[in-house]
Structure 1
């Protein structure tokens, strides 16, 4: 690894310039004023940005390995905003990687499409989440979905099935993406100062992803 590389993926270095470009494009989340706190925040921000860039590189290679259409080149200055709900659901590293990387989005879409959703899984979800399928009229009347509700108070399963299947496939695809990323980045080597923010081998690690 050279002094100009932030990490090495499959024997090839990732330039620190890619990390710096992302840092310039994404404003800091922290607003520290004390010098020592600001320095720590910036160290963690660089480690965080390295993970986003590594995820993009790994996703590009995964797309090539799977014969997926090559995604367009990412431009750090054109990163879409990341919704707070996505950060809550995915963590800021994965959410930003998906916003930043066309390859990551392509891979996630492929993983989602590959997930089977058995009919019994969709039916089980429908029966366990009856409150989500009250009709508009039942909602207006304040019907309790778990006590005293009639069949007519619920959207029929046949109408809800496609939406349930899509939701379950999306959730399974995200889990598959997390599993893929955890395995793919296990062999990545990082330069000092570019380790994972949660890596316990450095003294100021944290688990805010």
Structure 2
């Protein structure tokens, strides 16, 4: 691995210029909700942790972590492109490099900052996720079980206006019928299963990736800047 490489994926190098392009395109690691891809701040305790040291060193540390974070996003894009090629899928054209993309806070909370950013950045990652979601089969029993265990989510508008307690004295008329709710529940369960499949694929795909010094995962305890909070 040379000084121009950020990582090696399946024997092929990932150029540093791809990481630089992502950083210079206006990306900044989300500040909260890093989840499994921790680059987040953690309230007062985190502020106290970062207060130690010279301001210049704190800034340098943040920039090093930002580069590691961006490397993860680029590597996921590379892995997703390979996975799409193996499946005979052709991702749409990539977003113009000067376009600044936003990552929804809900996605950061649900997926972790790195995966959420990778899905926003990478057409291949989005296509792969959609493909995996489409492969999921949701059993009728699972849909019915979800409906029965989450009745509070299926109160009618009228019942909500009356302030009905879904776990108290209610009648069947207070709930959206199962037949009407079924399609939405199945879609939600399929989406969740697709995301689990995507994370499983990503864990396996990243197992053989080798990172250059300064491009490790931001939560890797092997480097002194690491931070991994939930």
Aligned to 2:204: 183
1:7/1:15 contact within 8 Å kept: yes
Q: 2:152 aligns with which of 127, 131, 137?
A: 131
> Do the aligned partners of 1:63 and 1:70 also contact (CA within 8 Å) in 2?
yes
State whether structure 2 residue 98 is matched by structure 1 residue 77: yes
Residue number in structure 1 paired with 2:17: 17
SS of 1:131 mapped into structure 2: helix
- Output aligned runs, 1:159-170, within 5 Å: 159-170=180-191
Aligned to 1:156: 177
Work out which of the residue numbers 62, 68, 75 in structure 2 matches 1:54: 75
Aligned equivalents of 1:91, 1:67: Cα separation in 2: 28
Instruction: Indicate the residue corresponding to 2:218 in structure 1.
Output: 197
In terms of mean alpha carbon deviation, does 51-60 or 173-182 score higher?
173-182
TM-score (norm 1): 0.95
Post-superposition shift, 1:78? 2.5
- Provide TM-score, normalisation by structure 2: 0.86
CA shift, 1:108, in A, is: 0.1
Correspondence for 1:90: 111
Q: Mark the runs of 5 or more structure 2 residues left unpaired by the alignment.
A: 32-49
Higher relative contact order (CA 8 A, sep 6+): 2
Q: Does 1:171 align with 2:192?
A: yes
Secondary structure (helix, strand or coil) at the match of 1:185 reads helix
| Number of residue pairs the alignment of both structures matches | 209
Q: Is the 8 A contact 1:76 1:100 kept in 2?
A: no
Q: Displaced runs of 4+ in structure 1, greater than 2 A? A: 27-30, 73-80
